[in-house]
Amino acid sequence: MVFGLGKLFGGKNAERQEDAAAPEPMVEAAYEETHTAFVRRDPVFNREHRIVGHLYRLQHSDAGLGDAPTRRQLPLDDLLLRSLCLSNESANWGNLYAFISLCSASLDNPWLHRLPVENTVLLIVLAPETQDAEQLARRLEILRERGLRIGVFRQPKHPVFATLVQAADFAAVNVADSQGGNVRDFSVALRSANDTRHLIELVGINIETLDDLALCHRCQFSFFQGPFARPEEKLERPKGDPHKLHLMHLLNLAQGDTETAELAGALKQDPLLTYRILRYLNSPAIGLAREITSIDQALVILGRQRLARWLSVLLFSVKEPDFSDWLLVESSLCRGRIMEILGQQRFPAAEADHLFLTGIFSTLDRLLRIPLPEAVEQLRLPTNIRTALLERAGPYAALLAVAEACEGFDPVHIADAARTAGLDPNAVNQALLAATSWASEVTEHWE
């Protein structure tokens, strides 16, 4: 089996991986890079098209996924691990996987011992200087005994790869950088080695097209990440979803001068909606001190503005969602939560829900499939929210720009937005990670 895996064909970058130049010395400039590095988290889907985890790495790194790293990667790995640990000091990933791309030279990093162990997967990229398979295996066994799970990127020409992959829990393939035949052969080789005692699950990374996704699906991959999940969306007339139209009507009632009894009556007209509202409000993600058992009680305890917040969340629930639907859900919830977190120190507590609504409503055009101005006109929104959404001006605009930039893969854009908002990279990173965890908790309770 070792020989078989070692002979598996290299991808388009195989020769470059094998003949990588000697590692650069760890220079001070590499440490300076960490001051402008931003955490990137990409959703990872399962075979049922649902987000089941995230791939975490740094925006700043120029290396491709699975490329042989140099020692300049070590301080960047340190920043990534530190950010993930500090974000999870009192929490964990919940039911989602955290796939953390990490250089093999970073396996002695002390932050590894502070990572949450539940559902954490270290995806190892083998560095050229990693030559001692036994030493690497001992180090990985220590991490595995702590509860971490181990994955390895496909690097067939690396002398340690064939030994390491047999002991791994996951094997990752950079699909965009591999030939289709190599992907199939690698899958066949791993599945022939699997037994009931040790199952190696395949992770497709950087899947660019739906054809590549179908290939990975046929090859029995378990997890999928890449641009395939972000199809170019074109605006079209709304389909008139009665559920969403009713929610928008209720939002307007909650934001307006409607009597409380009338609002409660409108909510109770839809028993299923009432059930879902109460279910979400009583979920751990909301964190209320007491259980809410009726709509009338919800209005008393939460107030109109807080109720409007959760009605807005329900707008993004989708029947039989596909990849792009889940991306929209996560994007919307994370934008709202990021703005709320980053605004805690600069806005009164009473404006927290306004910040949240600004973020979540910034994707209304994608939800309703109509231009944003037209979508905003259908809702009664406070002036600061409308100004931020339609004019990119006013007190909320800078934080909205940061929340939107966090979804892109341009660290310069994120840095510019953060600088304009007066935020340092660490604050942005922590907000992104906390928002991702929160959004996962909310959607965990969706049908």
Mean pLDDT by runs of 10 across the 447 residues of the chain is 36 37 38 66 92 87 62 81 79 83 92 91 91 88 92 92 88 92 91 72 95 95 92 55 77 81 79 75 75 81 79 78 84 94 92 93 89 90 94 97 91 92 93 90 69
CA-wise closest residue to 227 among 84, 65, 405: 65
CATH number of 2-229: 3.20.20.450
Where does residue 353 rank: exposed (0-12), middle (13-18), buried (19+ CB within 10 A)? Answer: buried
CA 281 – CA 287 distance, rounded (Å):
8
Residue 28: its pLDDT value, please?
A: 40
CA 255 – CA 266 distance, rounded (Å):
14
Residue 283: its pLDDT value, please?
A: 75
Strands (DSSP E) contained in 77-119 are 97-103
120 and 141 Cβ atoms separated by less than 8 Å: no
Cα 436 from chain centroid (whole Å): 6
CA-wise closest residue to 154 among 195, 115, 194, 184: 184
CA 198 – CA 200 distance, rounded (Å):
6
Q: Residue holding tokens 């058992």?
A: 293
Number of other CB atoms surrounding residue 22 within 10 Å: 9
39-45 and 51-58 beta bridge pairing: antiparallel
Residue 59: its pLDDT value, please?
A: 73
Question: What DSSP assignment string belongs to 268-317?
Answer: HT-HHHHHHHHHHHTSTTT--SS---SHHHHHHHHHHHHHHHHHHHHTT-
Both structure tokens of 25: 């010395």
Segment holding 268, helix H or strand E:
helix 260-268
CA-wise closest residue to 147 among 116, 106, 168: 116
Which of helix, strand or coil describes residue 101? strand
Both structure tokens of 426: 């660490």
Residue 431: its pLDDT value, please?
A: 94
What's the residue count for the chain? 447
Residue 206: its pLDDT value, please?
A: 94
Query: pTM to 2 decimals?
Result: 0.82
199 and 147 Cβ atoms separated by less than 8 Å: no
CA-wise closest residue to 233 among 372, 45, 378: 372
Query: Looking at the domain covering 242-443, what would its CATH class be?
Result: mainly alpha
Residue 240: left (phi > 0), alpha (psi -120 to 50), or beta? left
Domains 2-229 and 242-443 share a fold: no
What are the residue ranges spanned by the domains of the chain?
2-229, 242-443
As a dihedral over the C-alpha atoms of residue 437, residue 439, residue 442, residue 443, rounded to 10 degrees, the angle is -110
Residue 70: its pLDDT value, please?
A: 59
Measured distance between the N- and C-terminal CA atoms of the chain, rounded to whole angstroms: 43
Which of helix, strand or coil describes residue 172? strand
201-205 and 223-224 beta bridge pairing: parallel
Residue 282: its pLDDT value, please?
A: 81
Residue 26: its pLDDT value, please?
A: 38
Phi, psi of 151 (to 5 degrees): -125, 165
As a dihedral over the C-alpha atoms of residue 290, residue 296, residue 302, residue 307, rounded to 10 degrees, the angle is 130
CA-wise closest residue to 57 among 213, 206, 186: 206
CA-wise closest residue to 56 among 67, 73, 44: 44
Which of helix, strand or coil describes residue 256? coil
CA 354 – CA 49 distance, rounded (Å):
32
